[in-house]
Each structure stands twice: as structure tokens, then as C-alpha cells.
Amino acid sequence: MIDVKIIRTNPELVRENLRKKFQEQRLPLVDEAIDLDSRLRESKTKADTLRARRNAVSREIGALMGKGRKDEAEAGKAEVGEISRELESLEALEESLAAELREKMMFIPNIIDPSVPIGRSDADNVEVERFGEPAVPDFEVPYHIDIMERLKGIDLDSARKTSGAGFYYLCGDVARLHSAVLSYARDFMIDRGFTYCVPPFMIRGGVVSGVMSFTEMENMMYKIEGEDLYLIGTSEHSMIGKFIDTILDEDTLPQTWTSYSPCFRKEVGAHGIEERGVYRIHQFEKQEMIVVCRPEDSAEWFVKLYRNTVDFFRSLDIPVRTLECCSGDLADLKVKSVDVEAWSPRQKKYFEVGSCSNLGDAQARRLGIRVRPGGDDKRKENYFPHTLNNTVTAPPRMLIALLENNLRADGSVAVPVPLRPYMGGKEQCNV
């Protein structure tokens, strides 16, 4: 949610932003918000004038009573009563207008960074940089499920019986690799100065609407029937929600966290759930990184965050590339986003394994997260911080990259050196 002052003072910037995001159908929201904001400010001005008049008359009543001018005092009391009734009506109007304005503002996307490439969909995302040399072995690389099944590491049929499509049982060495990757990711980020956290896996609706757009909410979130609770789609949701309605001292910034959680997603949309695969599923686990920082520091943190993921994958000798997400591929709250993609020797192309996002002050504004300026800060009032998030790793997508890039001709899979301490010293997984 952007600052209403931007719409008030520069509505064309907001309209142009909607055009860049190919959301022309939302253009009427700008004029509707301007009208509601004007009516709300007019109502507040009138109410302030009435309050000042009520206070003045109330003071006069005491003086009149002291002078014995009872009739004039009674007239004053009548005026105070009339003002109070009018104020009650105005306050109800203000509450209604404020709620309606907030609802409109929730559907107006954040202003994207000027560096974001313009495009309609992820097909228009722009490659930024490659890291590592992608290689294709001289033997055929099977589909990732076939690799897992040969290692006796996955059971999709049983999962379909217990839970339906989009779920799986991981077993044996594949399950150990899954846990090893997450444990290594946790320690990798702790070594980079991030504080480890395991957050709640369910959050209230007010937090959900604070951290994501309504479209994302409808397509992703599972609602707990009869409860004001949702299963999280990523730990970012509860980690940012951790600061709801708080005022942070500036000297506590940046807040840098790395969090583990299971993730639950409906995955409604064009991609759908794979019947035989674990690339797009309803349940997975993830190690995340979250930063809350001063607005002037968020661009620098954005680069640091996605480079952390690049460094993590390269430490496991998996080639990756970064893609700048185009305007049409950015969710409404995002200012800028970079995807990290890993090399697939089987497909001979890269596929997404993580996404880094700068959300500006949108989440902080929605959730009421503020910062109290420090002594040398030129800002005199509390301000909204910027929030950023990025995927460290998200098995089982990470497992796909790991298995394909470490597969040997005999069907065994080499265990990367950094993971061996988490695998009991095991150097390979055998068929």
C-alpha cells in the first residue's frame, strides 16, 4: 500500500505505474481514491473546527454561570449538545470514508523501481548474470522422480492416497539430503550474521492482508475453517507479522533474520500441481531470509540478499543465474525482484529455485510497523521501514538441482562436501 500523499500530489505517477504493470483496469481506482481522500480531509477539517468551537463554548459556559447569566449559559449548553451530535455524525462518516479509502488503496500496487524492465509476464524477465559453468554429462539424466525412486527416496502413490496430488513421502537418503540441505542453509545464514528463528506456521487474517496482495492471498493461502487463521505460504509472512503495530528504535536496524518453516500453498493458477513431480506442490519446507531496514539502505540489502542465495548454491557447486523480474511479473507490493535459477542438466536450461524481493514500505505501512529516529537522524517523526525477503533454499526444488547436478553414470549421487557433516559423513547415495 502506497502513501496516499503520492496519489494526492502525483496521481499521474500512480497511473503510469499501473500502465507499466499492465493493470489499466485499475486506473479508475486512482480517481476514486483522490475523491475519498478529499472528502475525508474535508470531513476532518470540519470536525476540527467544530471541536474548537465546542471547547470555546464550554469555556464560556463556566464564565457565564459565574456571572449569573444563566440563560446565556443554557444556550451555550444547547449549542454544545448540537455540536456533539454533529461531531458524532462526522466521526462515523470519517470512519466509513477511511475504511473505503483503505480498501481502494489496498488494490493500488506499489511504485516499482525505475530500473525494473517493462514486460507483461515472466517471459519478459531479463537475465542479469550467470555463476558457474553449466554442464551436461555424457549420459542421460533421468527425470527427478525417476532418480528419487531409484534411490528408494520418494513415495508419491501413498501420498496420493493419504493427501491427494501435490504431496509426497520422502524416504531414506533422499529424506536425509532434504534435511541436510535445510540444516546447512540454516548454518550458512547464521555464519553471515543472521539470527535464526522458527516462527508460527499459522497467522491471522490481519497479518495475511498486511504482507501480501488479495490476489496472492486467494491463489496461495489455506484458511483454517471456523478460525481466523491461515497456514503460511512462506515464513516471511509470520516473520514480518512479528513486528505488527510496533515502533522499532532505529539503532536496532537492520533486523536480519533467517527462518525455517514448512510452507503450504494452494497453487491456484495457470501452472497447476504436478501429478508426477515435486517442482510445484502443496507442501514443502524452506529456509528464508528477512530484513527490516532504513529506506535508504534497502537497495544495498536487496543485492546482498540475492547474492547470499547465489553463494549458497555455488558453495554446493550448482550453476545458477539471476533474472530481473519485469513489471508485469511483480506482485502488487513489490518494488523490485530478482529470481535465482539453478541449472538443470536434464532440461538443459535453468529453473527457478528462489526469489528475492524489496517491498519498500508497503508491508510496514499495512501492518503499522514504524521506526523511531535516532539522535543523528534528520527525520523528526517516526517513519516506515523497508522490508525485504529472499529464499535461501526450498527443498524439494533444491533437491532437483542437487540430484541432477551430482548424478553419476552408475545412478549414484555424490553428496557435496558441505552437506557431508549433516549426512553422517556419507559421500554418496547409492542405488
Do 397 and 335 share a structural domain? yes
Q: Quick one: 6 exposed, middle or buried, by C-beta within 10 A (0-12, 13-18, 19+)?
A: middle
Residue-level pLDDT at 387: 98
Domain membership flag for residue 35: yes
Sequence-separated (6 or more) residues with CB below 8 Å from residue 427: 414, 415, 420
Do 276 and 156 share a structural domain? yes
> Can you list the positions of beta strands (E) in 394-430?
413-414, 428-429
pLDDT tens string 52-68: 999 898 889 888 887 88
Q: Which residue has the cell 497479518?
A: 207
Residue-level pLDDT at 376: 76
pLDDT band at 219; cut points 50, 70, 90:
confident
What percent of the chain has pLDDT above 70?
98
Do 127 and 23 share a structural domain? no
Amino acid at site 402: L
Q: How far apart are CA 257 and CA 323, in angstroms?
A: 24
Mean per-residue pLDDT, 37-49? 95
Do 90 and 225 share a structural domain? no
pLDDT band at 205; cut points 50, 70, 90:
very high
Q: Which residue has the cell 502506497?
A: 2
pLDDT tens string 149-199: 999 999 999 999 999 999 999 999 999 999 999 999 999 999 999 999 999
Do 260 and 187 share a structural domain? yes
Residue-level pLDDT at 13: 97
Q: How far apart are CA 332 and CA 214, in angstroms?
A: 9
Residue-level pLDDT at 407: 97
How far from 218 is each of 2, 140, 205, 298, 425, CA to CA, in Å? Answer: 21, 40, 12, 28, 44
How far from 245 is each of 171, 220, 384, CA to CA, in Å? Answer: 43, 25, 11
Residue-level pLDDT at 244: 97
Per-residue b or e along 141-164, where b marks 16 or more CB atoms closer than 10 Å to that residue's CB = bbebbebbebbebbebeebeeeee
pLDDT tens string 346-366: 999 999 999 999 999 999 999
What CATH number is given to the structural domain containing 296?
Answer: 3.30.930.10
- pLDDT reading at 344 higher than 60: yes
Domain membership flag for residue 66: yes
Residue-level pLDDT at 270: 54
Asked if 181 and 398 touch (Cβ cutoff 8 Å), the reply is yes
Do 157 and 52 share a structural domain? no
* Residue 89: CB atoms within 10 Å: 12
Domain membership flag for residue 54: yes
- pLDDT reading at 268 higher than 70: no
Do 128 and 60 share a structural domain? no
- pLDDT reading at 272 higher than 80: no
- Residue-range definition of the domain harbouring residue 62: 4-106
How crowded is the C-beta side of 105, counted as CA atoms within 13 Å?
23
